[in-house]
Amino acid sequence: MMRLKTLATVLALAPSLLTPTAGHAAAPAGDPVHGQDIYESRCSACHSIDANRVGPAHRGVYGRKAGSAPGYAYSPALRASRVIWTEATLARWLTNPQAFIPGSRMGFQVAEAQDRADVIAYLKTQTAKK
């Protein structure tokens, strides 16, 4: 009990250090097929999997450090952040990116938790080329 409470305090004080599952135990399971539809409809204005456009290329983004796609000019805030893209951090980013990483430039929000889970499940399938 004590330990849990201490952990909760630490997490509250350092939100960007959240471990992948903390605070998102109830995140729904993602459907990558529906996630691809969402990606094409809502993300593809700015992003492609393999090309830097208005936003950075997404291949291999899952598990990578934020702000590290080669050749993309990130905001200083995103580049300097120590966030690693996991289910939990991606969910927070897609909920409200500029609240999660102040000074970052993506304003696009995904309101529904299920939609976030689905698009994250799709991003997970777009692994780095071997």
Partner 1 sequence: MHHKITMNAGALNAGLARREALKAGGMGVLSVAAIGILAGEPTMAKAAASSADADILNVALGLEHEAIAAYQIGAESGLLQKPVLDAAVLFQSHHKAHRDALIAAIGKLGGTPVAAKSTSDYVASLDIASVKSQTDVLRLARKLERGAANAYIGVIPSFKNVAYAQISARLAADETMHWTVLTQVLGDALPTQALSFGA
**52 near 72, Cβ under 8 Å?**
yes
If one asks whether residue 98 binds partner 1 (CB under 8 A), the answer comes out as yes
Distance, CA of 122 to CA of 75 (rounded, Å): 25
> Which residue type occupies 114?
Q
- The residue ranges that bind ligand HEC (CB under 6 A) are 42-43, 45-47, 54-56, 61, 66-67, 69, 74-75, 78, 85, 90, 93-94, 104-106, 108, 110, 119
Tell me the two tokens of residue 108: 């696009």
Window of 2-10, 83-91, 102-110, 120-128 that interacts with partner 1 by CB under 8 A: 102-110
From the list 124, 127, 93, the residue with the least C-alpha distance to 110 is 93
Distance, CA of 14 to CA of 128 (rounded, Å): 30
If one asks whether residue 72 binds partner 1 (CB under 8 A), the answer comes out as no
* Least gap, CB of 35 to ligand HEC (angstroms): 9
Binding residues for partner 1, per CB under 8 A?
41-42, 44-46, 48, 51-55, 75-76, 96-98, 102-111
